[in-house]
Amino acid sequence: MVLDSAGIGEMPDAADWGDAGADTLGHILERREVRLPNLRRLGLGNITPLAGMAADPAPAGSFGKCTLKSDGKDTTTGHWEMAGIILKQGFPKFPDGFPARIIDKFVEKANVPGVLGNIPASGTEIIKDLGEDHMATGKPIVYTSADSVFQIAAHEEVIPIDRLYEICEIARGILHGDDEVARVIARPFLGTNSANFKRTENRHDYAVPPPANNLLPVLAKSGLDVVCVGKIASIYDNIGVTQELVGKNNDQAVDSTIEALKAESRGLVFSNLVDFDMLYGHRRDPEGYARALEEFDARLPEIMDAMNESDLLILTADHGNDPTKEGSDHTREYVPLLVFGKNARAGVDLGTRQSLSDIGQTIAENFGLEIADGVSFLSEISPA
């Protein structure tokens, strides 16, 4: 389970990314008491000192933190790394907006009356600023961020969902070569004016197809189930996915994860909890982030109760998004690693892992397989 954006402190190169001092979980817990008894029980407070959370003397899980080894700090980079894909050169970014060669081709191919925006922006702020112009002109709102994304926002009653998805697919086809951004994202919204515009849950991501030797197709080709919850399937362009379950918000993702655990399957259940990043990190809302952590913590026992004796729960994140920092972008941080199984060894300090790919390699080794990168910790948590 990926707690999207729940970083746990700056990496050594954070300053190179403009993220010196970033600490998503640390800074949230400094703001007020955040009640996370179940995460503490698994060993969250054992990873690093956290305000209001003493280390558990006998944690029920094993604990550590993962380095982001790839060049990047975005959703695709982090998730791909978990599956063994290390990006030595990150996806292209457009900090000044997209050049005319891209926008002109998009307008022509998508048959739209031009675009609004074409700047780096917060998704919530840009619809507040340009949403009414969009409704008056029918022009889609195009924007990017510090990440490698081409985002298209449109009011669902101005550009219907199917049409928005169509023009996103056209953009995905245009953006290749040196312009191949990691994701094209459909960002639909509703409302009547700038005061009440609100993004809907009909977001859809169009990712670059990942290299074929990553964890998901390696598992699927061996006859194992790869059940993806939330935006996971789209991040891997559905390659190696054997079943996709809905998870448009945290509660829905937890429900689907429990459903998958109770089903007859063998392999991987891979879930993303998007609210931490989408609703609270990017909106720089530490209080909302704290509440979402408490709400997830309260549901952890449901997940653990649904696990079989041989199941293993791995909790981690894909990058940071410190809501106490200025801006609205991801932060270059270590991510937590919590591992729990009813028959797994508990209390093991897994240390600072060389990469998120250690998670993928551990999963692969469990099924007698191997992926391109990663140092497995399976032997460290296996019963004696």
pTM beyond 0.75 = yes
Instruction: Identify the weakest region by mean pLDDT among 38-42, 227-231, 234-238, 337-341.
Output: 234-238
Beta strands 313-315; 2-3: pairing state: unpaired
| Residues above pLDDT 70, as percent of the chain | 100
- Assign 263 to helix, strand or coil: coil
Q: What's the pLDDT at 281?
A: 95
Q: What is the mean pLDDT of residues 190-201?
A: 95
* Band (154; pLDDT cuts 50, 70, 90): very high
> Edge-to-edge, what's the strand order for the sheet holding 225-229?
2-3, 267-273, 225-229, 243-245
Q: What's the pLDDT at 124?
A: 86
* Both tokens assigned to 273: 């909890």
Q: Please give the residue that has the higher pLDDT: either 291 or 124.
A: 291
Residue ranges and CATH numbers for the domains of the chain are 2-89+209-381 (3.40.720.10), 100-207 (3.30.70.1250)
Residue 352, Cβ neighbours under 10 Å: how many? 13
How confident is the prediction for the chain on average, in pLDDT?
96
* Band (123; pLDDT cuts 50, 70, 90): confident
Residue 170 pLDDT greater than 90, yes or no: yes
Let me know: does 237 contact 243? Beta carbons within 8 Å: no
Q: Which amino acid is at 148?
A: S
Let me know: does 383 contact 343? Beta carbons within 8 Å: yes
For helices 286-306 and 250-262, the axis angle rounded to 10 degrees is: 10
Angle at 36 between CA 35 and CA 41, to 5 degrees: 140
Q: What's the pLDDT at 27?
A: 98
Q: What's the pLDDT at 147?
A: 79
Residue 141 pLDDT greater than 90, yes or no: yes
| Residue that has been written with the tokens 């994202």 in this structure | 185
* Band (89; pLDDT cuts 50, 70, 90): confident
* Band (384; pLDDT cuts 50, 70, 90): confident
Q: What is the mean pLDDT of residues 5-12?
A: 98
Find the farthest-apart pair of alpha carbons in the chain and give their distance in angstroms, rounded: 67
> Edge-to-edge, what's the strand order for the sheet holding 62-66?
313-315, 335-340, 62-66, 349-353
Q: What's the pLDDT at 10?
A: 98
Instruction: Write out pLDDT tens, residues 254-277.
Output: 999 999 999 989 999 999 999 999
Buried b vs exposed e over 4-39: b needs ≥16 C-beta within 10 Å? bbbbbbbbeebeebebeebbbbbbbbeeeebebebb
- Consecutive H or E run containing 256: helix 250-262
Residue 143 pLDDT greater than 90, yes or no: yes
Q: What's the pLDDT at 122?
A: 83
Instruction: Write out pLDDT tens, residues 321-377.
Output: 999 998 878 999 999 999 999 999 999 999 999 999 999 999 999 999 999 999 999
